[in-house]
Amino acid sequence: MNVWQRFWQAWQVEIANIFADKAVLLVIVGGLLFYAVLYPLPYHKNVPGEQAVAVVDHDHTHLARQLIRMADAAPQIRVAAQPSSMAEAEALLASDDVHGLLIIPSGFERDVYLGRPTSLSFAGDASYFLIYGNVVEGLLTAATTLSVQTQLVGSLMKGENPAQIPGQIMPMRIITKPAFNPTSGYINYIVPAVFVLILHQTLLIAAGSVTIKDRARRRLGQTAPSLALALPLRLFTFMLIYLLFAMLYFGFFFQLYGVPHVAAPNELLAFSVLFFMSATLFAIWLGYLLPRPEFPTVLVLISSLPIVFTAGFAWPAESLPKWLDTLTLLIPVKPGIQGFLAINQMGAPLLSIGREISILVGLCVVYGGWLWWLACHQRTSNSARRMAIETKTIRSENNNRRKRR
């Protein structure tokens, strides 16, 4: 049998080990498609809609009522109640009937027209930071707009030049532009990183389980290709499968959910190849450490949430303890997430993520080197075993010849 025939037979064995295993196939196909559809569904609105707020009006004047109408007109909030007392307002806030509170003090209109400092109190449900931000932004916008309007009316009544009034009231204007997340939405913030995590974690389960089951078959003495041939083919097969799913994730699903992506195709492909190579080598390495095929799933379940909070997108990696930040770099998903976000969401060139590329290359060398040593060790052991068998056979034949003589 020539080299190409051995190669083709070994590859057929690897493909059969993957696609004939229902559990592995369910993770690769079912899991990846299920999570790609399910995970973004709760966030399909992208940003929280109008939030219900209560207004406690202690002034009961025309200007206070105008402020309430302007708050209700803000796109972020909706005035749902006007309780007569603070106790009633606190009860509404505690029962989640409203998510914010605006308190207009007595003497509000008088102080505004006399030019005296006046204070409006805003409160919001800070247990949901997006809701809190929406409520405060809407109330602050309404209050600022009313303040500018009253100052403008006062200046006109004093006979000032109308053309100069806007510059006197607001000498500076701030124009905000959210970078890398144009809608300031939750999908654009969380989905790109979580998609990388899903690809990585399902790869660990699938490749780790296949490796553990392959070890079990070899221990039972079943015929199998040599590790020197089987491991590179397993690496190549899983990389090919996951590159196809990466095209689906970063192409079709990003387009479906409106997630901005700006990476050049060749740069995205190059980084994807490096990432899936390191992740597959890591998964196979885990397959030689874990004793049973269900253990990779357990490990993924335990590690997923810590990875979310240490990968650098939910919480800055610079704010983590140094030892923890360094330790988590041993898992390919962390530099993978940081690299994908940089080139695909932020438009960074491939050369600017040299740190992430270096880490992934280092992980390939570490885990790939260990597996190469394992293949060489098995080859040496098999050679020694064959020599021992041949030696024993020769001695047995010699003994039989002596007995015949």
Domain boundaries, the chain: 3-42+185-387, 51-169
Homologous superfamily of the 51-169 domain (CATH): abc type-2 transporter like domain (3.40.1710.10)
The pLDDT tens digits for 95-114 are 888 888 889 989 888 888 77
Q: Choose between 191 and 163: higher pLDDT.
A: 191
Residue-level pLDDT at 157: 60
pLDDT band at 238 (very low <50, low <70, confident <90, very high): very high
Highest mean pLDDT among 33-47, 139-153, 289-303: 289-303
Per-residue pLDDT for 387 more than 60? no
SS3 of 186, please? helix
**CA 376-379-382 angle, 5° bins:** 150
Q: Choose between 105 and 386: higher pLDDT.
A: 105
Strand partners, 243: none
Sheet holding 77-81, edge to edge: 77-81, 51-57, 100-104, 121-124
Query: Poorest-confidence range of 40-54, 123-137, 156-170?
Result: 156-170
Per-residue pLDDT for 120 more than 80? yes
DSSP letter for 52, please: E
Residue-level pLDDT at 207: 94
Per-residue pLDDT for 291 more than 70? yes
Per-residue pLDDT for 237 more than 80? yes
Residue-level pLDDT at 381: 60
Residue-level pLDDT at 241: 95
Per-residue pLDDT for 283 more than 90? yes
Per-residue pLDDT for 214 more than 70? yes
Summarize the confidence of residues 20-44 as an average pLDDT: 87
Residue-level pLDDT at 202: 95
Average pLDDT, the chain: 84
Half-sphere exposure of residue 215, counting CA atoms within 13 Å on the CB side? 17
Q: Choose between 395 and 375: higher pLDDT.
A: 375
Residue-level pLDDT at 203: 96
Q: Choose between 210 and 110: higher pLDDT.
A: 210
pLDDT band at 117 (very low <50, low <70, confident <90, very high): confident
Task: Return the H-helix or E-strand segment holding 81.
Answer: strand 77-81
Residue-level pLDDT at 37: 87
Please state, for a pLDDT cut of 90, what percent of the chain lies above it.
32
> What stretches of 95-183 show up as alpha helix (H) in DSSP?
108-114, 129-157, 165-169
Per-residue pLDDT for 309 more than 60? yes
Strand partners, 184: none
Query: Poorest-confidence range of 212-216, 219-223, 296-300?
Result: 219-223
Q: Choose between 63 and 405: higher pLDDT.
A: 63
Residue-level pLDDT at 396: 66
Please state, for a pLDDT cut of 70, what percent of the chain lies above it.
84
Decide: 255 and 273 in contact? Cβ < 8 Å. no
Q: Choose between 141 and 193: higher pLDDT.
A: 193
Residue-level pLDDT at 155: 66
Summarize the confidence of residues 81-98 as an average pLDDT: 86
Residue with tokens 């809609």: 49
Contact residues for 322 (Cβ-Cβ < 8 A; gap 6+):
none
pLDDT band at 257 (very low <50, low <70, confident <90, very high): confident
Residue-level pLDDT at 403: 62
Summarize the confidence of residues 41-47 as an average pLDDT: 71
Question: From the CB of residue 134, how many other CB atoms can be counted at a distance below 10 Å?
Answer: 25
Per-residue pLDDT for 158 more than 80? no
